[in-house]
Amino acid sequence: MSGDQGGPLVTGHAPGVCADVPDAGPSEKESIVGAVSSLLPVFPWDRLEPYKATAAAHADGIVDLSVGTPVDPVPAVIQQALADAADSHGYPTVWGTAALRDALTAWAGSRLGARDLAHTNVLPIVGSKELVAWLPTQLGLGPGDKVAYPRLAYPTYEVGARLARAEPVVYDDPTTLDPAGLKLLWLNTPSNPTGRVLDADELRRIVAWARGHDVLIASDECYLELGWEADPVSVLHPDVCGGSSEGLIAVHSLSKRSNLAGYRAAFLLGDSAVLGELLQIRKHGGMMVAAPVQAATVAALGDSGHVAEQRERYARRRAALRTAFEAAGFRIEHSEASLYLWATRDEPCWDTVGSLAERGILVAPGDFYGTAGERFVRIAFTATDERVEAAVRRLAD
């Protein structure tokens, strides 16, 4: 399962069985079991299962372009660092080793242009999905507070708002939102699913608006190193934030850029007051990154060679798939960055999913990311060269 799936959510109220409390009535049992999961949206990926079965029945096997999970090896330098730290017998710290914090600030300076960050401006997290899901709760948001995210978006922003019992709000342009009650504004650049990038001017405008209304920005930048026709810029770049991280946190992950989805390696950068608060809460909650993963993260951030190599692989696969889908009658929108092509044949997305499944190709329906995506599909180029070639052949038939 990739970061954008996670695992099947139990939705609705499961029947409670509690042998130790014989007198408890059904409503009391239900108030515990299902009280949280029933707040959440229905887990959408189960709906894709029949199409997956159709695609898997293809004589030459399925080409699965539905999920954004890495298929290439973990770079040797990272595996080595993990193995070297295998004898990690003591508890790790939530804030991470000094070596990890040094690696995070150094990378933020050299890669993002955020040169003035100190250790108080960094915080390791256990993969970025957990942070996205729990940030509103850890910030103490609740009923009466609003959490906003793009109209077409990674579903976990909504999940996070709902887990906190805050109000989820979608936007096209965040600066047109009513700031009353708005506490947290998610940006996602480059975007999953559209691949759209917010340029420095756009980000600067949004940051000024959010600061003016005392709204915290969380900018999910996990695809930042995967720009193709755009050069994504961080919210922490001085051209955007004016050299101050006040009111801003950037969320980064090594899952995509370093093929580390299995390690759960990610981190936050930004406002020291916010990160200090999260550190306290996460210490109490025991939200530690495993020590070998901390060591692997240091190695991953210190080596840009594997990132360039992986980019080359994705660039080739992307070009091949883009050409093949366009020749097969698809129109691609945005997609200037990230690991996806956002494509349409101007028909309902489930029709597209169905006809591609007949050819043994599985893609994600756009309505997984919001109703605005109901005539699009998301095509991931996280498949091996051999599977990408198979898709190209099938699309040409």
Ligand X SMILES: Cc1ncc(COP(=O)(O)O)c(C=O)c1O
Q: CB-wise, 196 or 322, nearer to ligand X?
A: 196
User: Which residue, 2 or 38, is less far from ligand X as judged by CB?
Assistant: 2
Give the nearest distance from C-beta 132 to ligand X in angstroms. Answer: 6
Phi and psi, residue 380, nearest 5°: -85, 140
Which residues contribute to the site for ligand X (CB under 6 A)? Answer: 2-4, 68, 127-129, 132, 154, 188, 192, 220, 222, 253, 255, 261, 266
CB of 67 or CB of 390, closer to ligand X: 67
Min separation Cβ 340 and ligand X, Å: 9
> Given the complex with ligand X, which of 261 and 287 has the nearer CB atom?
261
Q: How far is the CB of 368 from ligand X (least distance, A)?
A: 12
Minimum distance between the CB of residue 70 and ligand X, rounded to whole angstroms? 9
CA 284 to chain centre: 25
What is the full DSSP assignment across 149-174? EESS--THHHHHHHHTTPEEEEESSG
Cβ of residue 44: shortest distance to ligand X, in angstroms? 14
Q: Decide if 136 contacts 164 (C-beta within 8 A).
A: yes
Nearer to ligand X, 96 or 360 (CB): 96
Helix, strand, coil in percent for the chain, rounding step 5: 40, 15, 45
Answer whether the bond into residue 190 is a cis peptide, omega within 30°: yes
Q: Which two tokens stand for residue 375?
A: 């005539």
Q: Of 260 and 392, which has the nearer Cβ to ligand X?
A: 260
Q: CA 365 to CA 342: how far, in whole Å?
A: 10
- H helix intervals, the chain: 26-32, 49-56, 76-84, 98-107, 128-138, 156-163, 200-212, 238-241, 272-285, 291-301, 305-327, 349-358, 385-396
In the complex, the smallest distance separating the C-beta of residue 359 from ligand X, rounded to whole angstroms, is: 25
Tell me the backbone φ, ψ of residue 234, rounded to 5 degrees. -80, 155
